[in-house]
Amino acid sequence: MAPAKLSGFCKQGNDWLYNARLPSDITIIVDGVKFHLHKFPLMSKCGKIACMLEEIQSIHDRTFTTKLEEFPGGSDTFLFAAKFCYGIQVEFTARNIITVYCAADYLEMTDEYGEDNLLLKAESFFHKNVLHNWKDCVLALQSCESCMPRAEKLHILQKCLNAVSTMVCTDPSLFGWPMMMYGSLQSPGGSILWNGINTGAKIRSAESDWWFEDISYFSVGLFERLIKTMKARGIRSEYLAGAVMYYARKYLPGLGRWQSRPSSKARTVASFSSTPAAVDQRDLLENIEKLLPEKKGKSFCRFLLGLLRVASILGVNQTCLDSLERRIGMQLELASLDGLLIPSFSNSDTLYDTDCVERIIHHFMSSESGLTLFSPPSLDLLSSPSFEPLRKVARLIDNYLAEVASDVNLKPGKIRSLAEVLPDSSRTLHDGLYRALDIYFKAHPWLSDREKEVLCNIIDYGKLSIDACAHASQNKRLPLRVILQVLFFEQLHLRTALAGCLNVLEAESAPMGQGIAPTEIAGNVTATGETGQRIVRRDGWVTIVRENQVLKVDMERMRSRVGELEDELLGNSDASLFQNPQILKRMLLAAQDQLQDHHLSIHVLPIIPGIEKVYPCSEI
């Protein structure tokens, strides 16, 4: 096989030889590749080799073999240096400049061993050509992985990072500076001038994310160094976050669902011939989390939730998980329901990681510690903008509870703890909690009435809407005690609504200045202590307040009687009162008789003669 010739050098197998009439008298091994060369060309340019030969005093020996350990850039870079020693013309490029620079320093190719030596030429090319050009600077950084320690020692790596950061920092679009590319041809308003005339055409500024694609080809370590350098240089946090998110999406495919795919940016020349870096996804995610700025936003919160999901799959360290949960908790009001539905990847039997969500809620409450929580909340607090995040989170958690309630392995204690993390003042209505419990009872039919009653204690029946009360009063999945309480509050809702209606009608019909005071219409206690005596009769309407006062007393008696019967039965046997169909039937008949004494029933309530209010039984 004929040797491959290249500028006086030829390759035989894995060895390199220089085409000369003189036999080789020195063999240098770099990364397993042998270079059969001559002493004098190398000694005249390389201080390191000259010192090695002087130490062993074997200049005149026939052959000498040495091995260069950890040579920057490997055998290809040594071939470049060897050709330079033999006077063969070499070409500096952005891709080889850092490795050649480091190799020249390694071989001590300074001016002491030859005028205009390789180190000086590499340094000159680096400062004059590379540091002032975005493409060359990025290419140089992409190709410096093999000599990172020496490049760090020579400060050329940091110089490249500073140059890239400077070019990004000085992009006019980042800080809103006016574009000066037209000089005096630009009007104060930003329009292009032609012969002093305002053309109305605006100058387009470059996109602020034009550099994301190029730096996404860096290794994790180099990317981390660059982001820290940019942060020190004052790059705005939203652009740093965008670069980190772009990088994460490229190497963590699981984030695709949780972030819109990156727009198809035009790749620069710096990236056309590059291949994505090989990264360890677990290490990448842990480093990405450290680089993320403290930022809020819907898209950023969604990205964090996706990152948390991937982190759970990859099994990152606990510090990273805690930090992600804290970041999400600080902006939980911006989260979406599907983002919170994180599957459980532990040994738990539950479908979703409810423990994680509970910790996130605790972080949210810690971040909202400055908000004074009243119970019951004042009207001023409920209407204040500072209370809005808490209301949003309450609605979000109620919807979350409704989603996870159908999990048959979800324990009653967990759904209760999730509901009670938020203060009572965060919910103006408890319809969401009722809906979640109804779904939970439907998915867990084996729960006893006692367990259901304990869970129902998280509901404030006074905060149920009239529709929720109507549904609950006919919900067969609820214990009887709960239904009785719902019926009572249902009547309170009705009384309030009727009192308001009477108030409006009386105010409209009364002569000017002779309206009845609302306190009289509402049937408050009079000076003599008699209640309900000053309700105005209109068109045959009944005395509403007196009826409801009597109804309230009967409800209390009924509740007391139910308790007595249950205590009596429990004293004789361990069976529950509600497990005996005969006793239950007697109770319901007694309750129906008491209600009918006041022209009422559990389902139908006469309000005005000839008009009935029927509560729907449809699902909420």
The token duo for 259 is 């972030």
Q: Is 404 left (phi over 0), alpha (psi -120 to 50) or beta?
A: alpha
Contact 37, 99 (CB under 8 A): no
Nearest of 133, 89, 253, 415 to residue 141 by alpha carbon: 133
The CA–CA distances, whole Å, from 172 to 186, 188, 394 equal 15, 16, 43
Q: Which of 310, 418, 312 is nearest to 357 (CA)?
A: 418
184 sits in the region (left: phi over 0; alpha: psi -120 to 50; else beta) called: alpha
- Looking from the CA of 366 toward its CB, the CA atoms found within 13 Å total 12
Q: What is the per-residue pLDDT for 270?
A: 44
Give the 3-state DSSP-derived string for 557-610, with helices as H, strands as E and coil as C: HHHHHHHHHHHHHHHHCCCCHHHCHHHHHHHHHHHHHHHHCCCCCCCEEEEECC
pLDDT at residue number 370: 56
**Among 90, 104, 71, CA closest to 6:** 90
CB atoms within 10 A of CB 525: 11
Residues 6+ apart with CB under 8 A from 372: 381
In CATH terms, is domain 4-172 a member of 3.80.30.10? no
Hey, is 529 helix, strand or coil? coil
Q: Please, what sign has the CA dihedral across residues 443, 447, 449, 450? A: negative
Give the model confidence (pLDDT) of 50-63 as tens digits: 898 887 765 555 67
Q: Give dist(CA 166, CA 590) in Å, integer.
A: 85
Which positions ≥6 away from 441 have C-beta within 8 Å? 447, 452, 477, 478
Residues 6+ apart with CB under 8 A from 470: 490, 615, 616, 617
Query: What are the boundaries of each domain within the chain?
Result: 4-172, 207-329, 482-614
101 and 122 in contact (C-beta within 8 Å)? yes
Residues of the chain with pLDDT under 70: 1-7, 57-62, 171-207, 256-277, 369-385, 497-554, 557-558, 561-562, 564-620
How far apart are alpha carbons 294 and 277 in whole angstroms?
27
DSSP 332-363: GGG--HHHH-PBP-SS-SSSB-HHHHHHHHHH
Q: Structure tokens of 155?
A: 């400060």
Location of structure tokens 């308003």 = 189
pLDDT, the chain, mean:
76
Contact (Cβ atoms closer than 8 angstroms) between residue 398 and residue 369: no
Residue 110: the pLDDT is 92
pLDDT of residue 614: 37
192, β-bridge pairs: 186
- As to burial, measured by CB atoms within 10 angstroms (0-12 exposed, 13-18 middle, 19+ buried), residue 375 is exposed
200-240 pLDDT, tens digit per residue, is 444 344 457 788 999 999 999 999 999 999 999 888 888 89
Alpha carbons 490 and 282: distance in angstroms, whole number: 55
**CB 77 within 8 Å of CB 35:** no
Say if residue 159 is exposed, middle or buried (CB neighbours under 10 Å; 0-12, 13-18, 19+).
middle
Query: Quick one: pLDDT at residue 591?
Result: 53
Helix (H, G, I), strand (E, B) or coil at 27: strand
**pLDDT in the model for residue 19:** 79
Place of tokens 């300074």: 110
| Tokens 């056309």, residue located | 272
- Predicted confidence at residue 29, as pLDDT, reads 92
Q: What's this model's pTM, rounded to 2 decimal places?
A: 0.70
Q: What is the pLDDT of residue 578?
A: 47
CA distance 88 to 5: 13
Q: Please, which residues bridge with residue 12 across strands?
A: 15
> What whole-number distance in Å separates Cα of residue 77 and Cα of residue 96?
8
91, with CB counted inside 10 A (0-12, 13-18, 19+), is: exposed
What tokens appear for 611 in the block? Answer: 């008009």
Q: Give the residues across from 6 on adjacent strands.
A: 9
Q: Looking at the DSSP assignment, which residues form a beta bridge with residue 206? A: none
